[in-house]
């Protein structure tokens, strides 16, 4: 019996060690792991924190792990070229704000959820895909694929694909059509409206 326990312990240790090594050689995982951990924390403490509290807690992490200037550029496509530097700055800030607000408003209760790491693959342009599954005890699991890109010494998230639906694609489809129909100011106004709506909920 002891022998068996020992064997299990050894196995566990080896597994943990490998996990640790894997984390060391997998810097791609870091931003996603950090975001996921923060999201779980925020959910667990959702009631006490309230929207404002969740927003405050998420803001530094979201700002750190996402590469919003790259995201803004991808979202607007050719329209990006038409913006002035100050407009670009304003859009990046607004997108950052919107992301934090979205997380703060949607991850608002804990029901035993947890993220399971599935693996890392390399992708085009030096990027990597880091795959997770969000396990929901009372519901269907949700696949979360983070696409991370090297930014200086670190890796940062440039897109999230949830259950196959690409966040960039959704944003691009919506934002470019607003840009084309109504222009940049209207886009900013609509984003502000969305953020305000999240805050109200």
Q: Which residues bind other proteins (CB under 8 A)?
A: 74, 77-78, 121, 123-125, 127, 129, 145, 147, 158-159, 161, 164-166, 168-170, 172-174, 176-178
Q: Which is nearer to other proteins, 79 or 94 (CB)?
A: 79
Determine phi and psi for 140, rounding to 5 degrees. -75, 140
Strand-strand pairing, 114-122 and 128-135: antiparallel
Nearest to other proteins of 40, 161 (CB atom) = 161
Residue whose C-alpha is closest to residue 35's, from 18, 58, 55: 58
159 forms bridges with which residues in the sheet? 147
Query: In this complex, which beta carbon is closest to other proteins, that of residue 44 or of residue 127?
Result: 127
Instruction: Using the CB atoms, write b or e for 54-89: b if 16+ within 10 Å.
Output: bbebbbebbeebbbbebbbbbbbeebeeebeeeeee
CB of 50 to other proteins, least distance (A): 26
- What are the backbone angles phi and psi of residue 153, rounded to the nearest 5°? -85, -15
* Cα angle: 57, vertex 128, 72; to 5 degrees: 55
Residue 158 Cβ vs other proteins, minimum distance, rounded to whole Å: 6
To the nearest whole angstrom, how small is the minimum distance from the Cβ of residue 129 to other proteins? 5
Output 42 or 195, the one with its CB closest to other proteins.
Answer: 195
Q: Closest distance between other proteins and the C-beta of residue 28, in Å?
A: 13
**Does residue 108 contact residue 198 with C-beta atoms inside 8 Å?**
no
**Given the complex with other proteins, which of 34 and 143 has the nearer CB atom?**
143
Least CB distance to other proteins at residue 127 (A):
7
């Amino acid at each position: 019996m002891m022998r068996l326990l020992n064997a299990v312990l050894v196995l566990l240790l080896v597994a943990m060690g490998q996990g640790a090594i894997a984390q060391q050689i997998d810097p791609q995982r870091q931003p996603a792991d950090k975001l996921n951990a923060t999201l779980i924390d925020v959910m667990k403490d959702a009631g006490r924190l309230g929207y404002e509290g969740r927003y405050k807690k998420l803001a530094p992490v979201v700002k750190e792990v996402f590469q919003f200037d790259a995201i803004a550029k991808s979202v607007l496509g050719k329209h990006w070229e038409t913006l002035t530097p100050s407009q670009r700055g304003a859009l990046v800030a607004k997108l950052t704000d919107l992301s934090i607000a979205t997380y703060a408003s949607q991850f608002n209760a804990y029901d035993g959820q947890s993220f399971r790491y599935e693996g890392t693959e390399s992708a085009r342009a030096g990027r990597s895909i880091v795959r997770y599954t969000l396990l929901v005890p009372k519901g269907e699991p949700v696949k979360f694929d983070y696409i991370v890109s090297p930014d200086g010494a670190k890796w940062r998230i440039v897109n999230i694909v949830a259950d196959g639906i690409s966040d960039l694609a959704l944003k691009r489809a919506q934002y470019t059509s607003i840009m084309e129909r109504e222009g940049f100011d209207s886009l900013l106004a609509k984003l502000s409206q969305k953020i305000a709506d999240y805050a109200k909920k």
